[in-house]
Amino acid sequence: MMRIARSIGIAAFLTATCLALPACGERAQGSENDSGEAAEQAPPQEPREEAQPLRLAAADAGCAEQIEALDARLASDSDLTEAEKTAFRRARDMAAELCDQGNEAMAQQLLAGLLDRAEDQATINKVDKEKAAQAADNNAPPEDYALGEPRGDLDRFYGLYALPDSDNRKLFVAPADNGNPDRPIPDGYLMVGAMWGDVAPWYMKSLADMRFEQQWVNSGGQPVRVEFQTGADGQAVSMSISSRYMNYDRMERVGALPEKWR
């Protein structure tokens, strides 16, 4: 059994594994005896303490090493769910039975597949968690929106601002919109974002008349800060920006927002 494809679920993988094992096949047929009559049900066994490493009575050294590695992963990997860990331990027990019966080669093949599958599943779960966290960051903030007091003079900052080292790349400054019709951000707040790529906008909190700071930042992240410069009429003519990836002292305002954004 080589590395298992990521698209195969744990349940499907363990079912396929079971069908390949003589011991499992015997269990499946154990509900009837040779005469076709229902077999007498064996008395229930004491449940195994799942979290404890399996001890083999007469296991091949290679089996024991692989089982120890699998147990260590299941004990320490926080990206696997408890249900997934239980499924892996059951398959591990099948492999242990094979080892005790002298089928070390088949058991080692099964254990290698389990180790690979556990690693793959942990990676899938981790990516799913990261996607969920990113989605949460892009959703509406707490009830008070954590953006401070709304303002009625923000339209003077709206527009497109060009990066000084790339005429084709612009940032927009627009009314804050989280795209959630059930819980929209109210009027009176700003968002800043890139006109290129698929990047979530930054929702800004007012720090002073013309200074704003990104309010919702991932743990350990550096907030985006902007400061506007205005003309005699009070309308913005440029802005500065500082962030982890972008730092410009002056970005010229080069146009108005698209009509549908206002």
Three-state DSSP state, 97: helix
pLDDT at residue 27, as a whole number: 43
C-beta separation of 239 from 161 below 8 A: yes
Nearest in space to 173 (alpha carbons), one of 191, 155, 195: 191
Q: Cα dist. 11→84, 90, 159 in Å?
A: 9, 11, 53
**225 falls in which pLDDT band (50, 70, 90)?**
very high
Q: How many domains does the chain have?
A: 2
Average pLDDT over residues 32-56: 48
- Rounded distance, CA 126 to CA 78, Å? 9
Average pLDDT over residues 9-22: 53
Give the rounded percent of residues in the chain with a pLDDT score beyond 70. 68
pLDDT at residue 199, as a whole number: 74
Give the tens place of pLDDT for each residue, 108-150.
899 899 989 988 888 888 877 766 666 555 544 444 556 888 8
Residue 119 and residue 165 in one domain? no
Give residue 222's domain range: 154-261
Of residues 183 and 159, the one with the higher pLDDT is 159
Residue 176 and residue 126 in one domain? no
Q: How is residue 70 written in tokens?
A: 């699998």
Average pLDDT over residues 235-248: 92
Three-state DSSP state, 75: helix
Residue 118 and residue 199 in one domain? no
Residue 182 lies in a domain: yes
Average pLDDT over residues 248-261: 88
**7 falls in which pLDDT band (50, 70, 90)?**
very low
- Rounded distance, CA 207 to CA 148, Å? 9
Residue 114 and residue 50 in one domain? yes
DSSP for 211-252, please give it: EEEE----TT----EEEEEE-TTS-EEEEEEE-SS-EEEEEE
Give the tens place of pLDDT for each residue, 73-108.
899 888 889 999 999 999 999 988 988 888 888 888
- Residue ending a domain, among 93, 108, 138, is 138
- Rounded distance, CA 165 to CA 20, Å? 62
Residue 44 has pLDDT above 70, yes or no: no
Residue 113 and residue 199 in one domain? no
pLDDT at residue 57, as a whole number: 45
DSSP for 162-212, please give it: EETTEEEEEEEEEE---S-TTSPPPSS-EEEEESSSS-PPEEEEE-SSSEE
Computed over every residue of the chain, the mean pLDDT equals 77
pLDDT at residue 77, as a whole number: 83
Most confident of 4-8, 9-13, 178-182, 186-190: 186-190
Residue 52 and residue 114 in one domain? yes
pLDDT at residue 228, as a whole number: 97
- Rounded distance, CA 90 to CA 42, Å? 19
Residue 107 and residue 22 in one domain? yes
Residue 3 has pLDDT above 60, yes or no: no
- Residue ending a domain, among 79, 106, 138, is 138
